[in-house]
Structure formats: structure tokens, C-alpha cells
Structure 1
Amino acid sequence: MSLRPWLILMSYLCFFQINSNSFAKEFHNSENALNATEEWQAPNDVINSYPYYFSGFDEENRPILVCEFGKWDLRRFFDEGRDVNILHKYVDQALDRFVSGPPKELYPEGNAADGTVLIADLDGFNIRQVASAECFRLILGIASKFSKLEKHLAYGFFINLNYLAERTYEVARPLLGSLVERVEVYGTNSAKWIPKLLRALPADQLPPWYGGPKKHFSPVVVYG
């Protein structure tokens, strides 16, 4: 790969990091935005391209939301000239579901503790997603939306952060607010983060690629 894309990327990272406070104000939507999207139906190609799911529950019956964000090809929306507001609304709906959890009939018997567990997987995150200023702004906008989960996140894990994802996380960190205090961040070495997941979460509530049993795995509910 030529050096030029990386130089462009680093200039973006520096610019957005220096101006993170102004972008935080720009991207911070109102609380009401999280309560108006449950009945909205996203286009089928969006649902299929940007999935997320509840894998199961922790020992306190908190739902575990998994988002394999590194595989979300956000750049495609700009390349195809699509309305980016669709993606914003799709993320708002996902955050609604994070707050409300899966349908109540899917919970295990017994009372559930407050909050939701988050696993954000950045595996596959690459330079194509951030080599466009527009797409990079969208990523920061999504990060800002996640700050709305401060009161609802019990604890979480950001995993599979390569060098590029780590740099992007550092830029987005101010936009995440106090959410970062309840999130553990790990690189691409699964030998380090799988034991952490298994200490915090029941193995049978996780798919095999996160340390779950080596057998057929069925999430509680899949969106996408």
C-alpha cells in the first residue's frame, strides 16, 4: 500500500482529535431521538449489511448485545450516494433496543439486573472506512450517539482493535463520555480477551468465536 493514504488518514485523525469538542456538540442528538424509532423499518439491504444481535444473558440476567462493527461497510453508503440519515436512524433504533433489551418473554426466569452488556467487535475495520472525511465524520457521529448509553451500560468490551481502530478510538473517546469508564478495550490477540469475556460472561451465552462452546450457537434475537 502506498504511503499517501496513510498520510491523508493521519491528517484526518489529527484534525478531528484537535476539534473533538466542537464535533461532540455537533453530533450530540437530543435524548428524544432514542425513543422514536422502534416501529421504523430499515431498508432490507441495510438490515442485512449491518447486523447486531443479543447473544444471551449474563449471570444477573442482563442481556448481551453484540455488534460486529468492524464488518459494517459504512463507506459503501457514500460511494453509492445514499442518504446517510438512514444509517443515523438505523443506529438510533439499535440504541433504542440496547436500552429496552430483547422482548421480555425471551428473558430467563427471575429478575434481571439493570443495564445491558455490550460487546463491540472491530475485527475487519480497515483504512477504506476512514480514508473518506465524510465516512470518518459518520463514525464519530455514531460514537457520539453511544454516549447516550451511559446510564444503561452495565459493562462492555471493545475487542479486536487493530492499530487503525485504536487510533480511531482515541479520537472518538471524548465523544463517548463516561461510557469509557465501564468498557474494557483489547487488541486483536484473542488469547488475551477471550479469558476476560469468559470470566465475566457465561460461556454458553457466547458464540464460539468469543469463547463459547464448540457447537451450534443460536442468539436470543438477531437484528439483520
Structure 2
Amino acid sequence: MLWIHLVIFALLTIVSASHDSIVDGTQNVTKHSNDILNWEVPENIKSKFPFYITGYDFENRPVIVFEWGKWYTRSVVEKNGQELVDLKKMQDLVVERLRTSFYRRPLNDTESGLVDDEFVLLVDMKAYNLLQLTSLQNLKYLMEYFAKFDKCYEKFAYGFMINVSAVAKQFVGLYTAFMAKYIVRTEVFGTDSKVWIPQLLRKIPPDQLPPKYGGTSTLKQ
């Protein structure tokens, strides 16, 4: 849609003007890495904005799932209360964990192979709501959030984005604009699981994925 491109262009000017402050903010988080890594995410934030490690790929890289279709950030951003404070802190936590290889797979004495510091992203866009992108306040928030991922890009191996509906394609446009380095290594798929499940299983063992992603893992996420 033309309108979303115009909005992105306008917000690019706003965000680029404050880019230095965004970077400074993420650097300050690094100074307090231990505090961030030890922070316990409130249950209401966990349930509203699900992310988790589902397992490891064939190269022992951790696979991190973001059920982004469920991340309705607009209402939280516009309310501008404690939930937004906690959401931003959780996102700093996620980035710091990825940057510091927090999810690195530990191998015991009976296992062989190498442990990889890189990570894999699985972004699930199921149920994404276009209203997310009709709020300038929320768009600015998303762009600032995406900027933080520059800190951990060197550890990013590859990614999958699945369940991308016609509506969710608008989000992909935003993601492409502000996560350009990530999208190059990300395979984007529509809503047909018969297409994307075989692609996931080429790189990730079935026992490392839950059934909804074509796997056999019964671990509670």
C-alpha cells in the first residue's frame, strides 16, 4: 500500500534524527547486562508477547520463536504505562540474550559436535492485525525496537517467517525496511504449512519443534 510507504518515509526522518539516542540507550543496557539477564519477565508480558527457545537446529544453533502475530503492541504503546516499561525491558532482555549467546546449547561429556554461538529466528505471523500499522505511535515504537537488533546481528545465522497473510505482508514491508540485514537471511512463507514445514525440517530436527511447526516435541513452551 502506498500509505504505508509514505508513513515509513516520514518516520524514517523522525527516527534517524534520534538514532544516536537509541544507540546510546542500547549501549547503556549493555553496561547493566547482568541485571537485565537476571530480570524476571512479568507473567502478563509473557502471555501477551510470547517468545521462547523451542530447541536447536542440526548445527546446534538455538531456535528462538517469536509468535509475532500475537504481539499486539499498539494498545500497550498508546497507554504508555507500566506494561510498556516492562515490554521494553523484556525486549532489551531478548536482545541481550541473543548478543551474549545466552541460549547456547550445553553439551555433556557423552555428546559430540560443536556448540554454535549463532541463533536462528522463527517468526510466526499468524493472526497479525493490520491495526498495528495504523498508529504512528506504534510504528515509531516498532522502528526503535528493530534498531536494537543491530547489537546482535553478528550472531544471527538465518531465519524463517511463516504464516504471512496478505495483511501480514504490510508488516514484512516494515521489517524489510528496518531489518534489511536480517531479511536477506530470512525465508518468508505464506499460510500454507505444507509449503513451509518441509523447509523448517530441512534445518531443524522434528524433535526440536512443536507439532504446530511440523515437529514432535512435547515440551511446554
Q: Distance in 1 between matches of 2:149 and 2:8?
A: 18
Matched residue, 1:179: 182
> Given residue 16 of structure 1, which amino acid in structure 2 is its aligned partner?
I
Matched residue, 2:145: 142
Matched residue, 2:7: 15
Matched residue, 1:6: none
Kindly indicate whether the alpha-carbon contact (under 8 Å) linking 1:68 and 1:123 is maintained by their aligned counterparts in 2: yes
**Residue 162 to residue 141, structure 1, CA distance change in 2 (3 Å):** farther
Matched residue, 1:55: 54
Matched, 1:193 2:196: yes
Kindly indicate whether the alpha-carbon contact (under 8 Å) linking 1:62 and 1:113 is maintained by their aligned counterparts in 2: yes
* TM-score normalised by structure 2 residue count: 0.81
Matched residue, 2:102: 101
C-alpha RMSD of matched pairs (Å) = 2.7
**Number of residue pairs the alignment of both structures matches:** 210
SS in 1 for 2:167: helix
**Residue 25 to residue 194, structure 1, CA distance change in 2 (3 Å):** farther
Kindly indicate whether the alpha-carbon contact (under 8 Å) linking 2:11 and 2:140 is maintained by their aligned counterparts in 1: no
Kindly indicate whether the alpha-carbon contact (under 8 Å) linking 1:143 and 1:176 is maintained by their aligned counterparts in 2: yes
CA deviation profile, 1:164-212 (whole Å, cap 9, x unmatched): 3222222332321422221111122222211110111111110111111
**Residue 79 to residue 174, structure 1, CA distance change in 2 (3 Å):** closer
Find 1:122's aligned residue among 106, 122, 125: 125
> Given residue 95 of structure 2, which amino acid in structure 1 is its aligned partner?
L
SS in 2 for 1:138: helix
Q: Distance in 1 between matches of 2:121 and 2:182?
A: 11
* TM-score normalised by structure 1 residue count: 0.80
Q: Which moved more, 1:50-59 or 1:177-186?
A: 177-186
> Given residue 97 of structure 1, which amino acid in structure 2 is its aligned partner?
R
Q: Distance in 2 between matches of 1:25 and 1:207?
A: 42
Matched, 1:32 2:27: yes
**Residue 38 to residue 141, structure 1, CA distance change in 2 (3 Å):** same
